[in-house]
Amino acid sequence: MQRFSNKVVFISGAASGIGRETAVRLASEGASLLLCDIDEKGLGTTQKACEEQGAKTTIYRCDVSNYDECVNAIDACITHYGQLDVLCNIAGIAQMQHFTDISPADWHKILGVNLSSVFYLCQLAMPHLIKTKGNIVNMASSAGLVGQAYTSSYCATKAAVVNLSKSLAIEYSAQSVRVNALCPGNVKTPLASKLNIPEDIDKRLLGRMFPLIEAAQPCEIAAAVAYLSSDEARFITGAALPIDGAQTAG
């Protein structure tokens, strides 16, 4: 399939995990890509994988929690390609802590990367997406649909991403810009593998986070991004799609 021929896609968090797999998947379907992340080495690896698929690929180091850097990244995309058709907000961080141990610095860091960056990039991209009748896919989480112990700050930011996506979907529906959120559960990514679990937690409370079904692979989430951001999903907007092995089913 070449669902993204002649389309330009901006992907944050493209240096690893779901972001990298999404970039490679869309590259294989003909997209031209602007890839951003704070990890320049990882971006280079992703760029190489995309170019092996024959895709035009530009990388841009960007701390997405910084508004000015987001401005520059979107400007770089338009300068380089002249248009923007799809925005994929995939950059994210997670932390597991007792609620009373979360410092103001911890709170502001996760808020900046997981929520403020989505707000910044959606706002900056919107005028260009209106021109192309494009769309946005925001990476939320199953933690944005249900509560989870020891991840209160993460849950708060991801729930906000879900409702921000729904709000934008309504506001820009008349201008033919679609906005959707994906809500993965347990996924085998570097983010998940590096998650530090406090020693003194009540492990009985973790069952809802990790259902019995085997964790998803990043490429499975990337496949959902590809579908939602393609013209095949023309009538889907304002959705918060769970990909979580029934974690949020009951």
* Residues noted as catalytic: 154
Transcribe 89-128 into DSSP letters.
E---------GGG--HHHHHHHHIIIIIHHHHHHHHHHHH
**Residue 192, token pair as written in the block:** 């998940």
Cα radius of gyration (the chain): 17
The length of the chain is: 250
Q: Tell me if 10 sits within 8 A of 34, measured CB to CB.
A: yes
Pairwise CA distance, residues 17 & 36, whole Å: 13
Torsion of CA 182, 188, 194, 200, to 10 degrees: 90
Enumerate long-range contacts of 114-118, CB under 8 Å, 24 or more apart. 114/154, 114/157, 114/158, 114/161, 115/157, 115/160, 115/161, 115/164, 116/65, 116/67, 117/12, 117/64, 117/65, 117/70, 117/89, 117/91, 118/89, 118/161, 118/164
Q: Tell me if 86 sits within 8 A of 226, measured CB to CB.
A: no
170: part of which helix (H) or strand (E)?
helix 152-171
CB-hemisphere CA count at 13 Å for 30?
Answer: 9
